Amino acid sequence: MKKEASVTIFRMIALSEGVSFLLLLLIAMPLKYLFNMPAAVRIFGMIHGVLFIAFIFFAAYVTIKLKRNAAWFLTAFISSIVPLGAFYMEKKLRKEGVS
């Protein structure tokens, strides 16, 4: 896969993972605990879990493809577990000028 294509896929996954995390925290969790609707967490949780795994996989792939160091991957990993962190990584790649 070309470098540009892998970065584009990673950026799309980063945005999707960030949105899914916010949906899980701001919609599914309140539905579960305030309105006793645990199905929302199961659905959004599964979607977020798949996107999280894809995010980590592509972060590792992009780290290798762009010849970044381990600190870059560590930043990507930490950003995947912090709310809004995935948006930070997407912005970081855009700022680096990698499309």
pLDDT along the chain (99 residues), means of 10: 86 93 95 95 96 95 92 93 88 77
pLDDT of residue 93: 82
Question: 97 φ, ψ to 5°?
Answer: 80, 15
Q: What is the pLDDT of residue 97?
A: 72
The whole domain housing 47 covers 3-96
Report pTM. Answer: 0.88
Q: What is the pLDDT of residue 99?
A: 56
Give me 55's structure tokens: 């995010």
Q: 38 near 26, Cβ under 8 Å?
A: no
Taking the C-alpha atoms of residue 79 and residue 94, their distance in angstroms, rounded to an integer, is 15
- The reported pLDDT for the residue numbered 91 is 86
Question: Is the CB of residue 77 less than 8 Å from the CB of residue 64?
Answer: no
Contact 79, 88 (CB under 8 A): yes
Number of domains the chain contains: 1
